[in-house]
């Protein structure tokens, strides 16, 4: 291992469960026998090193599975970690009980910061050994969902697409291509709808059962704790959805109306939503390698820290951006803690989405890289709604450099991006409201769930009209939204972060250097504070305040001439 070791050569080893467990037992005994805060802190340091090594191997196994869901050997490594996870979690819970009950806790808190203790207290209420088997069931169900979607073939116009690459045609200038691509995706998902229903029903059942075994009334409060939310709950989130409905839905409806006018249709439909004029979505003017060259130029212009970060990522192959059959869909950023490097995963499809996903994931990676030396490891990443400010914020902060990717189409790209940022908010609120309904009625039949989704569409997406796509018309669009299966209640995070990212956009219009400094400061804080405290530390306004939503909405409306 050197400073230049490439991704493919990063050392990996499958841990031996017995050895990990006996090390855990020894750590616990040493901690309990320690006579002073300093001695206990030394045990916490040893525990930290062990957890970093474990995370690194688990993360390598998980990334390799995302890169190739068809290889049995790779799948076996991922399943190994999924299977031992609940056992390791049990050890962790016992260790945390000792840490939280320590006589030296005030001294430990002042050394490590109080936030990690709040996180641990919350985590203690999310697991007991009685739910270990349910946890294993849950991860095998999400693996089954991801593998099913990764393997779906979407034939269209003589080409076999994946769910990711077919999306590239949703923004085509030719309306019949957009409709055909949408129908092809719906048909592919429709072919496995029974299995998608079944996996979801089992997931809801197992999640509800885990919650009840832990003493909760439903999965919702457990889901919030699993998201490590320590500073707000479902009531604040419900009020936030209401504010989106009141303030953003009417603005989004005006955007849709103008788009319908620009493309000259009186029967505006779902398959028109990805474009804003008759030219179709802007496309980056080159392929994968060309994009990386432009990105290098962009980051060079943004400053030495961005330049160094990105050339390191590229030189060490910490990017996997091309679509391939068998790769899981979507994009994500993760990190290998022991090696202190992030990793970016995406599925390029030749459209503007590639630039969006790329700048988004680079925002996550830049934060992870900037705050890599924070300790303990809980401070490396904040909770997701704060993480998404780094990513969605960078999408806006790279606006001045979009000419590099889009040339003469850069202005069209920026306007379309800002419109999408606003029209996204109601969709995100629909996904979140739907999940709250789901876990309130865990025994609902599959058909009830479809009706629950349609209710959300009527409330938040009133313009939506599907044409000749029975699968979507029947209330099943949510089945392609991976978060709903993989990570309950992780979606409103994008909406909370978007309201903060829009604040960065607004500030950068008036003071770019100051806003870039604020962005860097936020990234460097990592996860050392809860969401709302991170915001106040850098002077961003709280998105739970309806006035803040109204303010960014009105500035965006003005910028868009709406
Ligand atoms: Zn993200």
Tens of pLDDT, residues 126-145: 999 999 999 999 999 999 99
Q: Where are the beta strands (DSSP E) in 114-265?
A: 154-156, 159-161
pLDDT of residue 81: 96
Q: How many Å lie between the centroid of ligand 1 and the Cα of residue 516?
A: 19
For residue 386, report the distance from its CA to the centre of ligand 1, in Å: 10
Distance from the CA of 264 to the center of ligand 1, in angstroms?
34
Q: Does residue 303 surpass a pLDDT of 90?
A: yes
Distance 303 CA to ligand 1 centre (A): 22
What separation in Å is there between the alpha carbon of 399 and the centre of ligand 1? 18
Q: C-alpha 546: how far from its chain's center?
A: 24
Instruction: Kindly state the average pLDDT of the residues 152-161.
Output: 96
| Average pLDDT over every residue of 447-462 | 98
Spacing, Cα 361 to ligand 1 middle (Å): 6
The Å distance, Cα 402 to ligand 1 centre, comes to 20
Ligand 1 centroid from CA 423, angstroms: 17
Q: Are 483 and 199 in contact (CB under 8 A)?
A: no
Cα of 364 vs centre of ligand 1, distance in Å, is 7
Q: What is the DSSP string of 363-417?
A: HHHHHHHHTTT-SSGGGSS--HHHHHHHHHHHHHHTGGGTHHHHGGGHHHHHHHH
Ligand 1 center to residue 448 CA distance, Å?
A: 30
| Range 223-235 average pLDDT | 95
Average pLDDT value over all residues in the chain: 96
- Note the pTM of the prediction, 2 decimals: 0.95
The pLDDT score that the predictor gives to residue 549 is: 98
Q: What span, in angstroms and rounded, lies between the C-alpha atoms of 31 and 109?
A: 16
| Residue 88 clears pLDDT 90, i.e. is over it | yes
CB under 8 Å to 263, separation ≥6 — which residues?
175, 272, 275, 276, 277, 278
CA distance 492 to 479: 17
Give the CA dihedral 269, 272, 274, 278, nearest 10 degrees: -160
How many angstroms is it from 144 CA to the middle of ligand 1? Answer: 23
Identify the pLDDT of residue 288: 94
Least confident stretch, 226-230, 238-242, 316-320, 537-541: 226-230
- Return the half-sphere exposure (C-beta side, CA atoms, 13 A cut-off) of residue 6: 7
Distance CA 340, CA 5 (A): 12
Distance from the alpha carbon of residue 21 to the mean position of ligand 1, in angstroms: 33
* Eight-class DSSP state of 541: P
Ligand 1 centroid distance, CA of 324 (Å) = 21
CA of 20 to the centre of ligand 1 (A): 32
Query: How many A from CA of 44 to the centre of ligand 1?
Result: 30
Q: What is the whole-number distance in angstroms between the Cα of residue 494 and the centre of ligand 1? A: 8
| 357 CA distance to ligand 1 middle (Å) | 9
When pLDDT is averaged across residues 200-229 and rounded to a whole number, the result is: 97
CB-CB neighbours of 289 under 10 Å = 8
| Token pair 């429709």: residue | 190
Residue pLDDT, tens place only, 551-562: 999 999 999 999
Distance 409 CA to ligand 1 centre (A): 25
Whole-number Å distance, alpha carbon 130 to ligand 1 midpoint, is: 33
**pLDDT computed for residue 434 by the predictor:** 98
Q: Give dist(CA 279, CA 487) in Å, integer.
A: 36
349 pLDDT more than 90? no
Ligand 1 center from residue 106 Cα (angstroms): 35
Q: Sorting pLDDT into bands at 50, 70 and 90, what band is 329?
A: confident
Using an 8 Å Cβ cutoff, are 59 and 335 in contact? yes
Distance CA 240, CA 357 (A): 26
Residue 50 pLDDT > 90: yes
Q: How far is the CA of 392 from the centre of ligand 1 (A)?
A: 7
Lowest mean pLDDT among 1-5, 58-62, 267-271: 1-5
- The Cβ of residue 26 has, within 10 Å, a number of other Cβ atoms equal to 12
Residue 215 has pLDDT above 90, yes or no: yes
Interval 382-391: pLDDT, tens: 999 999 999 9
Band of pLDDT at residue 77, cut at 50, 70 and 90: very high
Check pLDDT > 90 for residue 326: no
Give pLDDT, residue 522: 98
Over 90: is that where the pLDDT of 325 sits?
Answer: no
> In the predicted model, is pLDDT for residue 205 greater than 90?
yes
Mean per-residue pLDDT for 511-526?
A: 98
Q: How many helices (H) and strands (E) does the chain have?
A: 25, 5
224 C-alpha to center of ligand 1: Å?
Answer: 18
**Cα 482 to Cα 151: distance, rounded to the nearest angstrom:** 14
Is the model's pLDDT at 330 over the cut of 90?
Answer: no
Ligand 1 centroid – CA 360 distance (Å): 6
Mean pLDDT of 440-466: 97
| Confidence check: pLDDT of 1 > 90 | no
Q: 551 CA to middle of ligand 1, Å? A: 24
Average pLDDT estimate for 449-475: 97
Q: Tell me the pLDDT tens digit for each residue of 90-129.
A: 999 999 999 999 999 999 999 999 999 999 999 999 999 9
User: Is it the case that residue 479 has pLDDT exceeding 90?
Assistant: yes
């Amino acid at each position: 291992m050197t400073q230049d070791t490439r991704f493919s050569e990063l050392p990996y080893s499958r841990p031996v469960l017995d050895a990990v467990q006996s090390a855990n037992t020894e750590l616990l005994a040493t901690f309990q026998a320690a006579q002073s805060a300093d001695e206990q802190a030394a045990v916490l340091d040893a525990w930290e090193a062990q957890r970093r090594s474990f995370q690194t191997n688990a993360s390598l196994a998980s990334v390799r599975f995302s890169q190739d869901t068809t290889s049995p050997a790779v799948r076996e490594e991922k399943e190994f970690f999924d299977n031992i996870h609940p056992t390791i979690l049990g050890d962790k819970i016992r260790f945390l009980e000792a840490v939280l009950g320590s006589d030296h806790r005030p001294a430990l808190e002042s050394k490590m910061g109080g936030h990690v203790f709040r996180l641990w207290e919350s985590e203690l209420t999310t697991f007991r050994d009685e739910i270990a088997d349910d946890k294993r069931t849950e991860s095998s169900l999400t693996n089954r969902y991801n593998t099913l979607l990764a393997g779906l073939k979407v034939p269209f116009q003589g080409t076999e697409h994946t769910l990711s690459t077919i999306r590239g045609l949703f923004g085509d200038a030719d309306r019949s291509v957009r409709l055909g691509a949408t129908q092809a995706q719906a048909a592919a998902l429709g072919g496995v709808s029974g299995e998608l229903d079944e996996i979801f029903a089992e997931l809801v059942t197992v999640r509800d059962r885990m919650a009840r075994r832990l003493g909760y009334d439903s999965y919702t409060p457990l889901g919030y704790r699993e998201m490590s939310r320590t500073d707000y709950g479902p009531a604040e989130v419900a009020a936030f959805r209401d504010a989106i409905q009141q303030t953003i839905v009417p603005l989004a409806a005006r955007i849709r109306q103008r788009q319908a006018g620009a493309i000259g249709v009186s029967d505006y439909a779902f398959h028109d939503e990805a474009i804003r004029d008759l030219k179709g979505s802007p496309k980056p003017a080159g392929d994968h390698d060309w994009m990386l060259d432009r990105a290098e130029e962009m980051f060079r212009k943004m400053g030495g820290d961005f330049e160094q970060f990105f050339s390191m990522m590229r030189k060490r192959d910490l990017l996997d951006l091309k679509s391939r059959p068998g790769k899981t869909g979507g994009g994500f950023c993760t990190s290998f803690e022991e090696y202190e490097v992030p990793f970016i995963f995406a599925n390029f499809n030749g459209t503007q989405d590639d630039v969006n996903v790329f700048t988004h994931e680079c925002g996550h990676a830049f934060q992870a890289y900037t705050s890599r030396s924070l300790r303990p490891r809980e401070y490396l990443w904040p909770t997701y709604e704060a993480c998404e400010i780094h990513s969605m914020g960078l999408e806006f902060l790279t606006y001045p450099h979009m000419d590099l990717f889009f040339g003469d189409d850069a202005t069209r790209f920026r306007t379309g991006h800002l419109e999408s940022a606003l029209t996204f908010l109601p969709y995100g609120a629909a996904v979140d409201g739907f999940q709250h309904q789901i876990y309130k009625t865990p025994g609902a039949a599959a058909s009830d769930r479809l009706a629950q989704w349609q209710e959300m569409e009527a409330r938040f997406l009133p313009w939506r009209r599907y044409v000749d796509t029975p699968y979507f018309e029947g209330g099943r669009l949510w089945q392609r939204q991976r978060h709903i299966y993989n990570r309950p209640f992780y979606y409103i995070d994008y909406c909370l972060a978007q309201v903060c990212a829009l604040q960065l956009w607004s500030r950068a219009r008036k003071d770019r250097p100051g806003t870039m400094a604020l962005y860097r400061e936020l990234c460097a804080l990592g996860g050392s504070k809860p969401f709302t405290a991170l915001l106040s530390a850098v002077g961003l306004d709280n998105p739970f305040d309806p006035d803040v939503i109204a303010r960014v909405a009105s500035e965006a409306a003005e910028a868009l001439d709406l």
